Chain A
């Protein structure tokens, strides 16, 4: 099983700031089958990024993904009030696994 470790656990930032979230895999993720999801309280996760760097339909361009192999990053260029949420990375190249999540909270 591929274990995904996200850091930091919590990110305290102000609206307008840049957020950088990290996801590290215990072994190489095949074909960059790495996704990022956003989850708000009481809601289902929403797909943001797939294939490590492709934005899903309707996702604003302030969200970007990068990385390959075992190291991946989600960047939110300028935080909007609606971006404060929990973010999960997921590998879907073999039996899918999720990271433990990074909470982006208002400072």
Chain B
């Protein structure tokens, strides 16, 4: 079935460690996004990519990095520079970066820093 796969679903990290969250889609979508969700809050945009080998910072990019080497993949690295990384991370994709198309979301990755 077509969709977006995020892994791992749960991740624990010690302070000072980098961690990479995987996001893979087989929907042939051009655009991909990473959002962060904190309890009681909406989703905030971390990074987005409209085409391969190109990506842009969102509203809260500090302490995060991404790559887009393949159309299907958009991994997110949470670096040790991210001061409060414990959160729920959602990856999404859409057919194109404009128009009426909705975002399709993965099931999310919950990161806890110990």
A, B from the same assembly: no
Residues of A with Cβ closer than 8 Å to B? Answer: none
